[in-house]
Amino acid sequence: MVEELAKELGGRVVQTHTSWVILLEDVVYKIKKPVNFGFLDYSTLEKRKENCEKEVRLNRRLCPWVYIDVVPVSEKDGKWFVEDHSNVVEYAVKMRRIPDNSLLLNRLETIKSEDIEKVARVVAEFHLSADRADEFGKPEVMKFNTDENFQQMEKYVGTTISAEDFHFIKERTEAFYDTYEDLFYKRIEEGRIRDGHGDIRLEHVAFLDEGVCIFDCIEFNDRFRCLDMLNDMCFLSMELDFFGKEELARIYEESYRSFVEDREFDIFLPFFKCYRAYVRGKVTSFLLDDPHVSEESKKEAYDKAKKLFQLARRYAEEIRV
């Protein structure tokens, strides 16, 4: 259905593990897949509509120029029609299309340090103005996330992550909670837990005429979006490390540090970066079981996931316990 709709609209389809994205010349339609991963539930039309509406509202905080509306998708005579209310079977997020050449991911070879500093400033100012979310800063909440990661990765041990790395990262993570439990509560008191973005990655940062746009935040699970400011910001520096741009990662981190004045920055940074690399490795591993993903794409996902878990291991070695 999605492929036929894209063809009818004159666009093409790009898939993630949770969505079909129809790319047209000037706009994008994003349709959520009817999946349930536990931490994400799009299993009913009602839930997909609710999450589409939430996605638009939350993303307008950092990228008001891009998110247009939630529109219906109807089915007639076995075909899908977008922005049609006659027989609604799906909903789509309608967005302005962001040019590929504006993405940070595609500018890694030419980006200037002042541009990275600009991104750090935007992220820091967003965090400092975002709503507080103190209840999500408790160590048991973070531990629920990491425990879930380890549980969901058990089936991939020996595939995308080695047994040695799996147990090493798990042990270091648990030791961190034991060592720094008091600091988690200190950060809550200092207001460092905010309703953030949750997915600040290279492909979600764009340089538009209106300014830096950071789009595609997490709407489907509040505990992945409401988090420690440092946990939110460091996803981007982890990805810069992943692509071999360590110098840019340090510029980004030090610029962000200067704006937020975080005394525990060096203690929490490797812990959160390990978490981020692990989450990304986990999500990439999920693609291996997605029936909608081609064998060629699964091979790419396998290689990428292995590299991400190797990076998580490197960060785990830097955790102070």
Tell me the CATH number at 256. Answer: 3.90.1200
148 and 92 inside one domain: no
Tell me what the pLDDT averaged over the chain comes to. 95
- Domain end among 97, 117, 139: 97
User: Is residue 31 within a helix (H) or strand (E), and if so which, with residue range?
Assistant: strand 27-32
pLDDT digit string, tens, across residues 222-273: 988 999 999 999 999 999 999 999 999 999 999 999 999 999 999 999 999 9
∠ Cα 26 27 31 (to 5°)? 155
> In the predicted model, is pLDDT for residue 293 greater than 90?
no
Percent of the chain with pLDDT over 70: 100
SS3 state at 44: coil
DSSP letter at 98? P
DSSP letter at 204? G
131 and 229 inside one domain: yes
> In the predicted model, is pLDDT for residue 17 greater than 80?
no
Distance, in Å, from the CA atom of 170 to the CA atom of 173, rounded to the nearest integer, reads 5
pLDDT, position 82: 93
92 and 177 inside one domain: no
216 and 246 inside one domain: yes
> In the predicted model, is pLDDT for residue 7 greater than 80?
no
pLDDT, position 54: 98
pLDDT, position 78: 87
34 and 67 inside one domain: yes
Which residues face 20 on adjacent strands?
Answer: 15, 31
**Bigger pLDDT: 213 vs 6:** 213
128 and 215 inside one domain: yes
pLDDT digit string, tens, across residues 100-109: 999 999 999 9
Distance, in Å, from the CA atom of 162 to the CA atom of 8, rounded to the nearest integer, reads 45
Chain Cα centroid distance, residue 221: 11
292 and 155 inside one domain: yes
115 and 161 inside one domain: yes
Q: How many helices (H) and strands (E) does the chain have?
A: 10, 10
- How many Cβ atoms sit within 10 Å of the Cβ of residue 246? 12
- Domain end among 57, 75, 97: 97
93 and 109 inside one domain: no
∠ Cα 199 201 207 (to 5°)? 120
116 and 9 inside one domain: no
On the CB side of 320, CA atoms within 13 Å amount to 7
Host domain of residue 288 = 104-318
Average pLDDT over residues 300-318: 98
pLDDT digit string, tens, across residues 30-64: 999 999 988 899 999 999 999 999 999 999 999 99
72 and 119 inside one domain: no
Distance, in Å, from the CA atom of 26 to the CA atom of 170, rounded to the nearest integer, reads 45
pLDDT, position 9: 84
pLDDT, position 109: 95
pLDDT, position 10: 85
Number of domains forming the structure of the chain: 2
Average pLDDT over residues 123-127: 98
Which residues face 82 on adjacent strands?
Answer: 73
Model's pTM, two decimal places? 0.89
134 and 211 inside one domain: yes
Distance, in Å, from the CA atom of 278 to the CA atom of 269, rounded to the nearest integer, reads 14
- Domain end among 35, 70, 97: 97
List the end-to-end C-alpha distance of the chain, in Å, as a whole number.
52
